[in-house]
A = this chain, B = another copy of it.
């Protein structure tokens, strides 16, 4: 049945020729048809549906022309593939665009050909598929190097050993604090049924990563750790839990990687679920944040606190209609980055709030202080006429009392402009903000918000068939921003990290000592000593010593023929460049003692 090898090779050659001819035909057809001017969006959309941007697609002059034209003149909302192209174009920075070759022939669009090149394209695809099928019959895979640009997906990155060391150190400090407060650890799958995430994130839902429907359940990557926690509590019928969860979450946002904003990033969450007395768990969340930020030692910060009920009462008092509370809230949330005048304009023009109401809100959101501000507002009868205001104010007052007992009141600011975007908060909300830019080398880096959270009493009930509620409060630490600060310090030479923990390197000065080295390594490993050796049979002495210095390995065992005959090995202290002789059988004992000594010195040095 199957073709002979020879026949197959001939068929592959013929098929290859056919594909090349078709491609040439397509190319010349494209060259001819560049007479059309103006843009037919329908045609362009069809055209772009066949275009892939993965293989290192570089925009042509025409692409840039069209991009600029669309920006000013056209609405592309209903053209799926133009939109995809548009997002791709937008991902280039201005400086990148300026470097695109100006005279490159247009490769994608503008001057859409009038002959149906689509047919030609489809034909090419078909024939290429046949060619591949033939090659597959040959049983040999195409082993030539990949043609696409080698990169990690947009907004993601690899962590190299230095970055991992920084990351693990930071996470270890965070975990230490979580455990100090008795939190247990849980984990959930990286994806959830899409329905689990639906309707939880308001406008941000468009940033959720969906998985392809490959026949089976419809899935999405988790967007945060709070909704999976709520799903977990409802599904497992758990009504009290103090847990931490450290894991990556996924958002199709526009990444700003140098500032620690990625599409794949870590969240470190601490949450307390259960029906408890007012503000007791809430105050502990604030205490946890201060302990973490203090232990990371990244500068001065304030903890802004506010209350969703107070915001509701304030909006009511200012004359904002009920159904506009949420949308007004998300406008207020922009106050940390946007001046009041712009926020006011958005309220009036986009959200339909009256100028009078906006101005009254403006007076409130400018306020911040502490207990004395709570007391003053409790006397503000137009505010306290709204019941939610009173709830919120009394809540904040109690929270501040507990913060006093926890010794953190000086770090807490009651700030009426704090709103937080997410829909699910119902009580106290808070955010930790660094108050000074961090100096790295000669540059200053503004970090801003570094932790945030609040109370969400209704989220678990959304997952429960009987709508049974489990009140929750929690906080999320923005460790990516901390990583990026520390990485910048590392790059500026302001800190050093060791990426391995090896204590001993086994060295030989002479040739043919591999077997002897292996025996020693085996002994040391069996004794639990972190040990390495060269993987070369006859490495050079200098190379081996260099390896120790470059990797911060403190000790070396040096093997020599004459010493071994005497039953002796040498231990070398790398920094001091000193060697001492020890009896072969005392080696493990001696090394163990020296390593313990080094550990003590290191601990005292910290």
A interface residues, Cβ below 8 angstroms from B: 5, 52-54, 80, 83-84, 87-88, 138-146, 148, 150-154, 156-161, 164-165, 167-168, 179-196, 199, 209-219, 221, 231-232, 234-236, 243, 248, 250, 252, 264, 272, 274, 276-277, 280-281, 283-284, 287, 291, 322-324, 326-327, 402, 405-407, 423, 458, 461-467, 499-502, 514-515, 518-519, 521-522, 525-526, 528-532, 535-537
The interface residues of chain B lying within 8 Å CB-to-CB of A210 are 211-212, 214
Cβ 8 A contact of A144, one of B219, B423, B467, B518: B467
27 contacts between A and B (CB under 8 A): A54-B194, A54-B195, A54-B217, A54-B218, A83-B215, A139-B327, A145-B463, A152-B193, A152-B235, A157-B189, A158-B186, A158-B188, A167-B187, A180-B529, A180-B530, A181-B530, A182-B500, A209-B211, A211-B211, A214-B252, A277-B535, A277-B536, A284-B535, A287-B525, A405-B519, A406-B518, A407-B522
The answer, among B161, B280, B284, B514, for a CB contact under 8 Å with A280, is: B514
List residues of chain B with CB within 8 A of the CB of A214.
Answer: 209-210, 252
The answer for the CA separation of A141 and B459 in the assembled complex, in Å, is: 13
Partner of A193 from B54, B280, B406 at Cβ < 8 Å: B54
Known: A180-B525, A195-B54. A518 touches B150 (CB 8 A): no
Which chain B positions have C-beta within 8 A of A324? Answer: 139
A528 to B, closest residue via Cβ: B180
Nearest-neighbour CB distance to chain B for A300, whole angstroms, equals: 19
| A287-B525, A326-B139 known; A192 vs B531 contact (CB < 8 Å) | no
Please tell me if the beta carbons of B191 and A156 are within 8 angstroms of each other in the complex. Answer: yes
Having A165-B185, A180-B530, A284-B535, one finds 18 other A-B pairs with CB under 8 Å, namely A54-B193, A88-B215, A142-B199, A146-B196, A150-B465, A151-B193, A152-B188, A152-B193, A158-B232, A159-B187, A179-B501, A191-B264, A209-B211, A210-B214, A211-B211, A287-B522, A291-B525, A406-B522
Q: Are A145 and B466 in contact (CB under 8 A)?
A: yes
Q: Is the CB of B519 within 8 A of A193?
A: no
Q: How far is the CA of A406 from the CA of B522 in the complex (A)?
A: 5
Report, nearest first, the 6 A-B pairs whose CB atoms are least far apart: A139-B323, A276-B535, A161-B184, A84-B215, A156-B189, A182-B532
A528 to B528, CA, bound (A): 29
Complex copy number for this chain: 2
Q: Which residues of the partner chain B approach A145 to less than 8 Å between Cβ atoms?
A: 461-467
When the two chains form their complex, are residues A192 and B153 in contact, meaning their CB atoms are under 8 A apart? yes
Report the minimal beta-carbon distance from A295 to chain B, rounded to whole angstroms: 10
When distances are taken between beta carbons in the complex, the residues of chain B under 8 Å from A159 are: 186-188
- Complex formed: what's the CA distance from A143 to B193 in Å? 18
Inter-subunit contact B231/A87 (CB<8 Å): no
A515/B182 contact (C-beta < 8 A), A190-B190, A214-B210, A535-B277 known: no
Checking B183, B322, B323 against A500 with a beta-carbon cut-off of 8 angstroms, the contacting residue is: B183
A264: contacting residue among B83, B144, B190, B277, CB under 8 A: B190
The answer to whether A195 touches B501, judged by C-beta atoms less than 8 angstroms apart, is: no
Distance to closest chain B CB from A77 (angstroms) = 13
Give min CB distance, A130 to chain B, whole Å: 18
Question: Which residue of B has the minimal Cβ distance to A207?
Answer: B214
List, in ascending order, chain B residues with CB within 8 A of A150's CB.
196, 231, 234-235, 463, 465
Q: Tell me the bound Cα distance from A218 to B151 in angstroms.
A: 12
Using CB atoms, name the residue of chain B closest to A280: B535
